Structure 1
Amino acid sequence: MRVFVTGATGFIGSAVTRELLDAGHEVLGLARSDRSAEAVKAAGAEVHRGDLNDLDSLRRGAEATDGVAHLAFIHDFTNLPASGEADLRAIEAIGEVLDGTGKPLVVTSGLLTAPGRLGTEEDPADPDSPGKHRHASEFATLALAERGVRASVLRLPPSVHGEGDIGFVPMFIDAARAKGVSAMVGDGGNHWAAVHRLDAARLYRLALETAPAGVRLHAIGDEGVPFREIAETIGRGLEVPVVSVPPEQATDHFGWLGRFATVDMRASGALTEKLLGWRPEQPALLPDLEAGHYFRTA
């Protein structure tokens, strides 16, 4: 299969590119800069120049391939609604090309299930979920399944971890290093689901190869790690005290990260495992943190 991968040089996308190539597929990787183009070539994939706002480039990429893995996203935390709108436009442009072809389209989403309980693949997007800026994209993707596209949604948890992580966990580590304490909000009893990037990459490949149309998939390694344990592991890694921050002071301590420090997002991937035969094989979040690579400094 020749696969068009958006976000092909990102933390997760680069692992998906490698997974696909190692499995014998060809990859056409979207690159918006010379640096990204060099990374795509170095991985052994073909370069396709463009970006999420260049809808014609997305259409051409989809036309030239047998399927699409859409991972690129504009992570502008100052204006997530605008990022969600750009994502929706990209999916609609790709969908125009794939309409009626039966080709696979795997679109990345967040855990859009209701906070505070164990979410499953059967749960539709919930308006109270932290990732509500991705709601429209998820609905649009699933609607394509009714138009002859083998479209599926792959939901990622708050932490996709592994060496080279640039997501929330290293941000909390940087905050702890700067402030000299590793903090949790309240008793830290809220939970984060998590998955290793290499396990997630394998799930993208399996989804492209065999996922039926119209399904939601959950890439879940840890169903729910208490944030307290994450803060404690960071504290040990940096050799700094672990402290509790009252909920009303979360923003003062963490800045914009405060909202994510309070997220209670647990989820199951049991239906995905049964459907695709996927099983997490890489280290869970806490052992990955304890391995030490998160705490190395240049």
Structure 2
Amino acid sequence: MTGRLAAVTGATGFLGRQVVRALGEAGWRVRILSRRDPVDSLWRHLTPEVVAGDLRDDDALGRLCLGADVVIHAAGLVKAPSRAAFDAVNVEGARRVARAAESVPHTVLVSSLTAREPALSHYSASKHAGERAMSEMLGERLTIVRPCAIYGPSDRELLPVFQAAALSPLLPVVSESAKVAMIHVEDAAAQTAALAAAQPSGRTFALCDDRPEGYGWRELMAEAARACGRSPRFAPAPKALIRAVGITNDFTVLAGVTPMLTSAKVRELLHPNWAVAPEERAEGTPMAKFDLRAGFEHTVAWYRTAAWMKH
């Protein structure tokens, strides 16, 4: 495998930068698409080749994919003001990458477990449509990976959860019955890199830690608090209140703000089953290094070192 070339989009994102590191550690040469020449502490022992451009630049995508053994398409939007904005990146961007990768033996699309439920939100619908667009063009040369909820160092989306766990004497429990599969970002990257090295399958796989049945919300909040050295009390969060917060945040979109907790995100949070079934998992991928407790502790330690959390 030494010397094989992996071309990566979304290389400077939360998961993408870890994927680049995992590929480098596995002996790949790495070429990335980026608007600027990135400097990343994770890449101390790796100097990826940089193709200047973005997903709207067909010439840059062509240069990115030229001569590659595998393309990993990890670029995407996780929040946007409208379905059209999501589709411009998560669907049309995926289609452009597929077009550029037509002569590449293997392409890996990093999607999302939410693509299982496209009716839940504009985000989940766009990820599902992006999968379909790439599959129609690449067929058996495409492998789709659907990470479950990813967390870890430099994650801004779950930071408010840990901040609340560190400060609040009372933490909300969104649901007493829902299950949420989780994965540390380093484990998600290792599994993605392993699937990139495998033969293309035309299949879709979910990425998760060694608890594919998932975690309850009470356990998630308890482990977040434990990682912060706290032992708070818990209370059910009224679903009507959560929905009201989401609807209220919808109106901020009109002011040009794109909050994470919109009504669409609330529907995703309240979905009862984000567990991973046995048939969704890929055989032969690395076992997770982090269980939830170790992963949350690792994440909080990074937040504190980076001064993202003071407590």
If the length of structure 2 is used for normalisation, what is the TM-score?
0.77
CA contact (8 A) 2:172 2:234 kept: yes
Q: Tell me which protein shows more strand as a share of its residues.
A: 1
Match of 2:202 among 198, 214, 219: 214
Is it true that 1:63 corresponds to 2:66 in the alignment? Answer: yes
- d(CA) in 2 for partners of 1:200, 1:269: 17
Residues 215 and 4 of structure 1, relative CA distance in 2, 3 Å threshold = same
CA contact (8 A) 2:68 2:104 kept: no
- d(CA) in 2 for partners of 1:211, 1:171: 39
1:288 is matched with which residue?
295
> What do the CA deviations read for 1:164-196 (whole angstroms, capped 9, x no partner)?
3333x32322455676642122x4321111112
CA contact (8 A) 1:184 1:261 kept: no
Match of 1:273, SS? coil
Match of 2:82 among 76, 79, 82: 79
Alignment of 1:104-119 (within 5 A): 104-112=106-114
Is it true that 1:165 corresponds to 2:155 in the alignment? Answer: yes
Q: CA deviation at 1:271?
A: 5.3
CA contact (8 A) 1:219 1:269 kept: no
1:116 is matched with which residue?
none
> What do the CA deviations read for 1:199-250 (whole angstroms, capped 9, x no partner)?
2212222222223231101112132111111122233426344222110001
Q: CA deviation at 1:278?
A: 1.2
Match of 1:141, SS? helix
> What do the CA deviations read for 1:46-86 (whole angstroms, capped 9, x no partner)?
11211223333223211252321011112334335522332
Identity, % of aligned pairs?
23
CA contact (8 A) 2:223 2:292 kept: no
- d(CA) in 1 for partners of 2:14, 2:159: 13
CA contact (8 A) 2:108 2:144 kept: yes
Match of 1:248 among 240, 254, 264: 240
CA contact (8 A) 1:220 1:268 kept: no
1:96 is matched with which residue?
99
2:221 maps to a residue whose letter is: A
Residues 269 and 218 of structure 1, relative CA distance in 2, 3 Å threshold = farther
2:6 is matched with which residue?
3
1:117 is matched with which residue?
none
Match of 1:262 among 248, 270, 274: 270
CA contact (8 A) 2:55 2:97 kept: no
How many pairs does the alignment contain? 277
Alignment of 1:221-232 (within 5 A): 221=209, 222-223=211-212, 224-232=214-222
CA contact (8 A) 2:11 2:33 kept: yes
Structure 1: state its 5+ residue gaps: 114-124
CA contact (8 A) 1:141 1:151 kept: yes
Match of 1:78, SS? coil
> What do the CA deviations read for 1:13-69 (whole angstroms, capped 9, x no partner)?
1111111111111001122235xx233975421112112233332232112523210
Residues 73 and 251 of structure 1, relative CA distance in 2, 3 Å threshold = same
- d(CA) in 2 for partners of 1:278, 1:161: 19
Match of 1:267, SS? coil
Match of 1:225, SS? coil
Q: CA deviation at 1:160?
A: 1.3
2:171 is matched with which residue?
182
Q: CA deviation at 1:112?
A: 4.0
Residues 81 and 286 of structure 1, relative CA distance in 2, 3 Å threshold = farther
Residues 286 and 190 of structure 1, relative CA distance in 2, 3 Å threshold = farther
2:145 is matched with which residue?
154
CA contact (8 A) 1:217 1:269 kept: no
- d(CA) in 2 for partners of 1:282, 1:128: 33
